[in-house]
Structures are given as C-alpha cells and as structure tokens.
Structure 1
Amino acid sequence: MRSATKSSRRRLLAGLAITGKDPAPAYYLKIGRTAMACRFEVFLRPEDREFVPAAHRALAEVDRLEAQMSVYRDSSEVALLNRTAFVAPVEVEERLYGLLRLARQIGGETGGAFDITAGPLIRAWGFFERRGRVPEPEALERARALTGWDKLGFDDCKRAVRFSREGMEVNLASIGKGYALDRAAALLVRQGLRNFLMHAGHSSIVAAGASHAGPGWEVSIRDPRDHQRSLGSVRLIDRAMSTSGVSEQSFAAGGRRYGHILDPRTGAPAPNAGLVSVVAPEAARAEALSTSFFVMAPEEVRRYCEAHPEVASIVVGGPAQERDHGSPAEPVKIVTWGISLEPSEAGGGCVTTFGTRD
C-alpha cells in the first residue's frame, strides 16, 4: 500500500508527535506503506518533492527486510534459522548476521532484559497470536528453559548461527522495525536526501537534517494515560527515537492487567504501566533499549545511560500510575537521563527529575 499526501504539522505519532512553532501553515509530503504489521511513513519538506521516488524505494527495502525477518512467513530467513539452527549451524546473510550479533550484545549489556530468543515466552503468554492468556506454571517453565540470549552460538568466520537447545527460536519484533528504519534511512541518504523524518508503527522514528522550523525535528512525548496530552518535547537532530508501552496490547485476567512486554529474566509481563522513550544514534538500538528499559529498574537504566553517553532515556509513569487508576489531571512522574524534556505548551503539572552525568 502506498500513498503520497499532505500531512499536518501536528501529525500524531502515538507516543510521539511532530510539532512546529512557526506560524506559517506549512505542510509535509507523506509517503507511506504498510509493512511489519504497522504503517511506515516518510515525511519530506515540499522543496524535496523530487525525492518522492527515493522514498518509495526506501519503503520497498522495508518490504524486502520483512520478507527476510518475519516469523510469520515460513519462507523467511529467520524462519529457516528457527527450524534448523539446533540441528546444525545456519549461515546467515551478512547484515542480518550483524543484527543478530547486535541483539546478543545488547542482551549482555542489559543483563538479559533484552532477549531475541524470548519467542517461546511470547507464545506461552498468547501474544504471538494476539490472544493473551496466563500460562500454566509448567508451560511457563518450559518456555523459560528455551529462552536466553547466551544460548545463541555464533561462528564469525562462517557467519553462522546455532541454537544450543531444541525448540529455541529467534524473534526480532523488538528490534526489527528499528533496523528497517536504519536501512531505509541509509538508502535515502545515499540517494542524496538530507532532510526527512521516517517512522515505523508510530513508535520508532529516524530524524535527519532539518524540518520547516529549523535544524532537527521536534517530537512530543505523549501522556500514556491520555495520548492527546503532551508532556513535553525534544528536538532530534540526526538521531533515532523509540517508545515502548503496553496501553495498546494487553489483556485482563483474574483482576489483573497484563501487558505484552515481557521481562525475559522472569518470564512474566513487566509491571511498568507507563512508557519509555530512548534516543540513540540508530533506530535498531533505540528500539531494543526502549523495550529493555521498560522492564529494567530505574537504577539499571541510569547505570546503562551513564556507561553509554550516546544513549538518552525518558521514563514516564510506572507501576504506581497505572492507566486504569490514574487521572490525566494528576501529575505524572517523568525521569530522564542524558536529555532535557522541554516544558509542554499544554502544561499539566508534570513532575520532572533530570538525571545527571559526571
């Protein structure tokens, strides 16, 4: 599916929104395509309309990557890996191999909070079919036994991957959209485009060059309890940003609500009820880390950001401010590391704590 249309300056991006403070009624060209179960869109300034064909080519690259990485397509390279990597090492395409290596690296850096082998857990909780359920304890333990980033074996000489246990599987849902954005954005830059914003599924974005308002692209952080309410904004200049939350994918059982973001270390859904945004040089890393930080304790997030100064994080809300019980009129807790959140024009009485670095 493709489209090239005009878009408002205040296009809502779920947790993010493009904003502009100049009074001119400017617009962007928007080129979109549905892939990876979401909408990918490229925003161009009108003066860059000659790059509309380039945007279509970038989106076609997203289609190609979906065909390579999808666990819902038996013909994909990842599906082949999942079927055979326990039997024998599987040679993997060079850039996909690099992505798997990056995922394993982030798994180690986050102490297992990020784990692309969590597919059995996703299935046990019913999120693979989007039919959430609480698994039986025995089923959950079987799934946990098949999960673990350290159970992936790599042969760099042969560019091959092997699973240490039968029944393991790789699922790139928590890094794949960001990776596709990185690849598509690189293609746009190679074709000569310098100023654009591209998003995937309203949660991950890449911002390059300048918008109408000047250098960078201003994005708004939305209240997870009320997506029409802005908590503040940040300006991205040649950076990526990803937001994770569970307000759109959850289920209720036994008087509790369970979100789709699982903590691989415990095998259970994360208790965090807010959202987490991460800014990083690449969208793949930003997406992986927003998922990781969602399940990590604040102190763990702080330590990670201090050790990786190229990464910044905004954590909104938490277990004490669940969507079902909070009121948009109440202050929402915002904790940031390595980034300043500009005050929201709408106000809202936000309580903001800024992290510091030595």
Structure 2
Amino acid sequence: MNTEFIDALEQIEREKGISKDLLIEAIEAALISGYKRNFNSAQNVRVDVSRHTGVVKVYARKTVVEEPTDPRLEISLDAAEQIDPGFQIGDIAEIEVTPRDFGRIAAQTAKQVVTQRIREAERGMIYNTFVDREYDIVTGVVQRQDNRFYYVDLGKVEAVLPLTEVMPTEKFTHNDRVKAYITKVEKTTKGPQIMLSRTHPGLLKRLFELEVPEIYEGVVELKSVAREAGYRSKIAVFSRNPEVDPVGSCVGPRGMRVQAIVNELKGEKIDIVKWSDDPKELVANALSPSKVVSVETDEENKVARVVVPDYQLSLAIGKEGQNARLAAKLTNWKIDIKSESQAGEDGDVLPQDAVSSDQEDYANTSYGADEVDAGEVRD
C-alpha cells in the first residue's frame, strides 16, 4: 500500500463520513488474522499501517525472560538487549517480521475491510435515516411482488409492503408509485428492514397532516381515527381556535383537500366529524351521517344507548354494521342503537339532556369517491 491508498481513505472519510483512523485500525486487526493464517504463525504480532505513507509492517511481540521456553512468544534478555539495551525482564520486545510478499496480502485484506466497513456504515446511515421516519409517510416505486410482499424502492433502500397491509380494493404492478406508512424499522444481518402499510390508521392521519395546513400547524387537532381500509373511515377533529371550523378546514375549498385523500385511498369514504369532550355529543357526531334523537350514557360500563328516527335506523347502523362499528372505534364507547318506535316499545324514557337532531351544535360531513352526502358543514 502507498500514499494513494491513504488519499483514498481520506476521500472516503469526506464522502461517507467514515473515520480514516477507524478504517486503518480495522485493517490492522484484519491483517493480524491474515498474517497468522497465511504464514502459519502462532506468535503474538502487531501490524502497523503508517498514517502518512501507507507502509505496512509486522512486528512480533515477545516477552523478555531469562531462558525462553517458547521462542515464538519469548525472547532471552541477552537477545533483547542487542535490540535495545534498556530492556528488562518482563518487558515486551517488538521485532519486525514483515514477510517479503506481505504487501499483496495487505492490499487484498484492506480492500475487503474497507468495502465491508463502507457497507456497514451505509446500512447504519440508512437505518438512522428511516428510524427517525418511523410512523411517517414515504413514497416509493414498486419493484416486484412475491407471495407475501410487494418490494418498494425508497431510493437508498428497498422496503417491504405485506400483501396483508394492502387495501382489498387495490393492486400494484411494476413501477407503480405508492405512498405508504412506515410501521417498523429494524436492524437485520442483511441491513435495515422497513415495513410499510397502506391499511394502518396512521396513514390516514398523516395524509390529513399533509393536505390540511391547519392540522400541520397545530390549530386543528385530529383527535381520533377509525378505519376499515378500502371501504370507510371516520376521523374526529377539534379546533384550538374557536374562529376556525375544524371540519371545514379538513374538507377544504369545494372539498379539494379531502378529495385528494379519497383519491389517494382509491375511493375510500371518509366521514369527518367534530370532536367533543361531552360523550353524548361525541357519540351523536360519530354516527354521522345519521341524525340522532337522544344519547344516554353509562359511564361505568362505557356504553352509549342511542335513539335515532325510525327512517334512519339502517343508516345509523350502516351496511353490515359498518357505521356503528366505526363510531364505536372512534369514540371508544360501546354503542347500542334503537329506533324511536323500538325505544317506545321498550319503555325507554328520553333523558332531559338528550341530543336532538334539531340541534345546530356540531358539524359533520361525509366524503366518498364521487359524493358529498349526509350532513351539512356549518360554521
């Protein structure tokens, strides 16, 4: 090795951020193993690589004793004093034993070590980059698919999108661009592994943060998300500024903001409801687009008993119970829905503080692929 090798290490240090001294120390450690392997040496040796010239030297380290029993590990005091008169019993004497053709071995070993360290450093940098982006959105290009995963190129690394984390309404092909949510970043022997999802509720939350400046700035807070990926979602939003309408902010001018998210999610319907600290009002809002006559809550069991108009019972429950199921997830309350006639037959008495369908206290809206239905957006 020579000065050009040292210059190359300095360039790697500048471009990759890998310390030249650390690389040389790793090369020295690898050369010790290489020396012992190639020259069948059992003696204790030290390899020195000059930081300035790149010259490699091998030194045998031997303990100074009166009478050596193992000449590979020990040296007599008389022989040591010929090297340096200052040696005493117990000192370590170093004797240069650099083989004539060791330069070739050193060059090959150095190349392997540097390549490996660069690979390890790049993996470490990629891991550090993406571990900070865990629970965030990334955009990549689909490269291939097998029985379990889509493999998505994120630029510096290939991530995996399990088929179980893809919405049932979508299918990707080679070179398709896809936005996905990072659910996990792990270190493995083959480098960092990044797991993606298209069905995670966090994807919906991040999409709203990207599309709605008021959420990104913290004026509007997305309090809760309930999602059945590919079919329907509900979000509950709250405004820290009484002059800002949280639902209207998420909808955007002529529905442009929420429609962009609906398009990204391949037509998944999104209900946007207003958050309330009052569980009665929150449950009533969550059942949008259905109107609610009354809500009675059982705080101890977290059960809400809801009465809706007869003609809206099926709307409140939703197709295969989807609307009620999402409302329960959104509010974290069990919801029991009855029509007015059912409530009357059962002898239920509406409480004094019932939520009326005529109230103007909350604003809800529902967006689908081609529609804006069920509910008004009120200032």
Normalized against structure 1, the TM-score is what? 0.26
TM-score by length of 2: 0.25
Q: Select the structure of larger CA radius of gyration.
A: 2
| Greater RCO (CA < 8 Å, at least 6 residues apart) | 1
